[in-house]
Amino acid sequence: MKDLSVTLSGVKLDNPIIPASGTYGFGQEFLPYYDINILGSLSFKGTTAESRFGNPTPRIAECPGGMLNSVGLQNPGVDHVIAHELPELRKVFHKPIVANISGFSIEEYVNCVSKLTKEEQVEILEVNISCPNVHGGGMAFGTSPEAAASVTRAVKEVATKPVYIKLSPNVTDIVSIAKACEDAGADGLSLINTLLGMRIDLNRRKPILANVMGGYSGPGIFPVAVRMVYQVTGAVKIPVIGMGGISTARDVIEMMMAGAKAVQVGAANLVNPYACKEIIEQLSIEMEKLHIDRLSDIQRV
């Protein structure tokens, strides 16, 4: 029997597979397909202080090796999530939950973290710093070490659960940002978020997305994600959740050999609703081929 269990900041997961925020909603959509309790955990839809409709449509575009999305953080707001979504999720999912939190100001991040840290089943707070800083000219918090550190310090003051900062790949030096988050008290890191991309409709001679540009995800970004996870895990001592284009069990093991302690599966869920289930089922088979008895024993190459 292969041991698939992993541990993130003292939180033990039966396996390292976590559906990525924004690709799994609050879990309800996947109930008709399989028992979602086979998952290690799940990262629910990115939540902001107030409800958001998101960006105008069209906001999805297909492309080779993946997809573009410009959904724009559509969500019902943190109070609705706590009052309605989490109670419903608890009825069907009995494992630790990763709460994905977004914001447009430090005050908004702190507000959401202070509320979600009190939720019993929430074991990890995943703070997405790819959102524009409305008080800093619209640049994302995750594009500079100083801004990333300021968010980290602020949320750590109110968090009673481990804080993982989700990093953007749309930077020149992700390592300096990762180290700034670690120095500011982050318990872990999640990377990578989507890459900025664009498609043009040749017939209309206009961008396909109403927002012009969007986040590129899917297998096409996997090598970039592996590279960035490898660079970051070589520079920090805190655990990293790796993500970006993972769609097979072999991808999971490769990402863990790059230094990740667990992984998130994103775009694959939108292509194949059974993706996470199939990956978990294949992990033991691939471990046997590679003579791996415990996933937690995998060392960074």
- By annotation, the residues acting in catalysis are 131
Cβ neighbourhood burial of 157 (10 Å; 0-12, 13-18, 19+): exposed
Nearest to 17 by CA among 3, 28, 29, 5: 5
Distance CA 260, CA 42 (A): 16
Q: Are 295 and 287 in contact (CB under 8 A)?
A: yes
Q: Which residues are CB-neighbours of 297 under 8 A, at least 6 positions away?
A: none
The answer to whether 14 and 5 have CB atoms below 8 angstroms apart is yes
261 vs 110, 111, 191, 256, 257, CA distance in Å? Answer: 26, 29, 12, 6, 9
Q: 125, 163 in Cβ contact below 8 A?
A: yes
Helix H or strand E segment including 6: strand 6-8
Whole-angstrom distance between the N-terminal and C-terminal Cα of the chain?
25
How distant is the alpha carbon of residue 176 from its chain centre? 20
The whole-angstrom separation of Cα 117 and Cα 171 is: 29
